[in-house]
Structure 1
Amino acid sequence: MFDLCYGASCPPGQTCYDGGCFPISYDYGYFPIIINFRIVRDGVSLLPLANVTVNSGWDIVTTDEQGYYLIMVSMMY
C-alpha cells in the first residue's frame, strides 16, 4: 500500500492525512478522535482498490468503490 504519510512528522496536536498534517478532532466527548481517512492502492499500479478489508485492531471496515476507507480512533489516556 502506498502511504503518503510514511515518514511524516506532524506537530503536537496534529495527525497526518494524505501527506498533510491536520488537527486532531476533539468533537466526541473528552477524548480526542483521530479520523483516519485514507485510500488503499495497488502496490505496483497505484490504482485505488475497492472492497478491501482494513483492520485497525479496533475496527474493521471495507474500502468503497474509489478505494477510500474511514476509521475513527479514540485516544484514551
Structure 2
Amino acid sequence: MGKYEMDFEKYRKAVEKVIQRFADRGWEEIKIEEVWFETSLPVDLIIEVINQGISIPSEVKLITHGGKTIWKNPESEA
C-alpha cells in the first residue's frame, strides 16, 4: 500500500504543476483534457487526484470535463 501512496503523490504533484502553469498564463477555466494533454495521465486518474484534494491557485475559477464542473473555486462567483 505504501508504494501506491507514493505513486499517487507523484501524480498529485504532476497535476498541480500543470494547473499552476495554466494559472501563470492567466487561465481561469481549465479543462481536464488540457491537463491530460500536458501530463499524459489517464483522465480518470486526473479526476481522482483533483477529487482527493490538490493545491489549486486562487486564479483558477473552474476545472471542467466534458462540459461538467469537476472543481469550482469556493471564492468564485462565476
**TM-score (structure 1 length as normaliser):** 0.27
Q: Which has the higher strand share?
A: 1
Larger relative contact order, structure 1 or 2 (CA cutoff 8 Å, min sep 6): 2
